[in-house]
Amino acid sequence: MQKNTQKLREEKIKGTIVKIVSFTVALILVAFGFIIKMCHDKKMLQIENYNTYSRAFVGLTENAENVNFALKKAMYTTDSNMLANYACEIITESSAAVTNLSSLPINKGSSAILKFFTQTGDFSFYLSKKAAAKKDISSSEQQNLASLSAVSEKIFERLENAEAEHNNMNYYNDNIKNMDLSIEGFDENSIINLSGVLNENDDTLKSYPTLIYDGPYSEHLLNKKSVFLSGVKEVSLEFAKAAAAKAAGVKESELSKTYEENGNLSAYRFNYSGGTVTVTKNGGYLMYLRKNVTQSESKISANEAVRKALEFLKNNFDYSFKQSYYSISNGICTVNFAYYKDDVIYYPDLVKVGIDLNNGNTVLFDGSTFLLNHKTRNFENPQISVTDAQAKLSSKLNIESYKLAVIPSDDAGESEKFTYEFLTKNELGEDMLIYINCKTGEEEDILILLKTDGGTLTK
């Protein structure tokens, strides 16, 4: 009896111990799981913050770049309407810059940059009101623009480097507060005092106009139907296949399945082992070519690539073209050509040809912009002389050359404008293109040429 009682007591103690151990293990597992979840949540929050900061940095850097170029253009325009456009662009980009910078938890150096964008936006609003009233800006205001432009250049360079630092160092959460945006020789006291030209009673700008920038005229008006191809007879599949094989430099038998594209430009698309080639149904014009290549050592110069690109055009397109600009990326030299006739260059009618710098082969062709925009034009002869057009340019610019050019336009009822294109150089040695309307004498656009190791681009 006593033995049984002792045995029952031992079994009860064992059961209690098992329960305690099981409960403890369960608590440990729950706690461990909770810790893992907390670590996971913290990591996800870090990643979310990092992505937010990355987007803000990219946006801020783009805003700074756009403000920089708009300030430069505002310095050299002599047209009040164009000045108003540039001022509005600066206002919009400065406001966006303030928003992006405010979302970054960076203390050191950010307050000076924030103040710069705020004052630059305010000053541009003041200029936009003068431009709307058709009033000329004064020499002191011109000097303010020049000073702001110089500062904006430094800010853009610093932000570009800061964005790279952020991407390379993977700043998370509080770590980003340690980033330093300071610029040597520049602080809040370095910013130009513009308060003297601003009216304290001005209402805050509540909305901004949407600006459409023509850029280098390479991607313009691609949402319309082709006048050039309308009414042109459709070619047979066999004809299109022959044209595709010629452009690709392969036998027709090497072209595989045919696809039909029925967008703004109806076309036949052929694939082959090295790439793809597209020919329009109407007229059988080469529209697109892409060859798969692996980047390798460059063996030919950019000038030789331009020559080969022009040779490809002559063999596949029965129209006259003039080289615009080129860019080099991943071993491919992409050359922009514009339609050229009777000493007039037509920028809406662009084609692009890409040449492999390793072997000189054509690996890219895009004629869609030409096929959509080309048409017969009937512009009147210039109603103002080139001398009168030159007089419209800023006295701070040195004219190096000029030519007649048709450029795209977003004005209602007028898709293109006939202009004098002046290649000029400013006091900083930068090349700028100024477009003066041949009919009205108004300034239509300003482009800044960016010359890099990868070619020449426009902004």
Residue of 170, 70, 52 whose CA lies nearest to 117: 70
The pLDDT mean for the chain works out to 77
Q: What is the pLDDT of residue 124?
A: 83
Instruction: Give the SS3 label for residue 79.
Output: coil
The first and second tokens of residue 148, run together, are 């702001």
pLDDT digits (tens, 9 = 90+) for 98-145: 777 766 766 666 677 877 887 888 888 888 777 777 778 877 788 888
Angle between helices 139-169 and 110-132 (to 10 degrees): 140
Domain match, 171 and 40 both: yes
Per the CB < 8 A criterion, the answer to whether 438 and 48 are in contact is no
- Number of domains within the chain: 3
pLDDT at 195 over 50: no
Residue of 74, 76, 120, 77 whose CA lies nearest to 96: 120
If one compares 351 and 199, the residue with the highest pLDDT of the two is: 351
Domain match, 395 and 350 both: no
Domain match, 358 and 407 both: no
Residue of 402, 344, 403 whose CA lies nearest to 376: 344
CATH for 429: 3.10.450
Per the CB < 8 A criterion, the answer to whether 119 and 191 are in contact is yes
Q: At 217, is the pLDDT very low, low, confident or very high (cuts 50, 70, 90)?
A: very low
Domain match, 171 and 44 both: yes
The whole domain housing 86 covers 36-180
Mean pLDDT of 305-334: 88
Domain match, 369 and 391 both: no
pLDDT digits (tens, 9 = 90+) for 352-408: 999 999 999 999 998 888 998 899 998 889 999 999 999 999 999 999 999 999 998
In a domain, 229, yes or no: no
pLDDT at 295 over 70: yes
How buried is residue 188: exposed, middle or buried, by Cβ count under 10 Å (0-12/13-18/19+)?
A: exposed
Mean pLDDT of 266-271: 88
Q: What is the pLDDT of residue 88?
A: 82
If one compares 94 and 162, the residue with the highest pLDDT of the two is: 94
Percent of the chain with pLDDT over 70: 70
Q: Is 429 left (phi over 0), alpha (psi -120 to 50) or beta?
A: left
Helices (H), 379-423: 386-390
pLDDT at 188 over 60: no
Q: What is the pLDDT of residue 360?
A: 92
Q: Which residue, 180, 215, 247, sits at the end of a domain?
A: 180
Q: At 152, is the pLDDT very low, low, confident or very high (cuts 50, 70, 90)?
A: confident
Domain match, 404 and 299 both: no
If one compares 156 and 37, the residue with the highest pLDDT of the two is: 156
In a domain, 1, yes or no: no
